[in-house]
Structure 1
């Protein structure tokens, strides 16, 4: 279980960061338009 968590945690973190970046970019585009 520990190995699985250590493997999944970085992936989840990257996904969360990607979603945040996409949301920020989308907001900037919407405000720009």
Structure 2
């Protein structure tokens, strides 16, 4: 049970990191 929770948690962290990086790239591209 703990292993499944850990995998889900790490997956969410990875998604959050990717979303943060993509949004940063998006904003830096918009900036002149």
TM-score by length of 2: 0.87
State the match for 2:2 in structure 1. 5
User: How many residue pairs get matched?
Assistant: 30
State the match for 1:27 in structure 2. 24
Q: Over the residues paired in the alignment, what is the CA RMSD in angstroms?
A: 0.5
* Structure 1 unaligned regions, length at least 5: none
* Structure 2 unaligned regions, length at least 5: none
CA deviations 1:1-33 (Å, max 9, x no partner) are xxx211100000000000000000000000000
Q: Post-superposition, which runs of at least 4 consecutive aligned residues in structure 1 deviate over 2 A? A: none
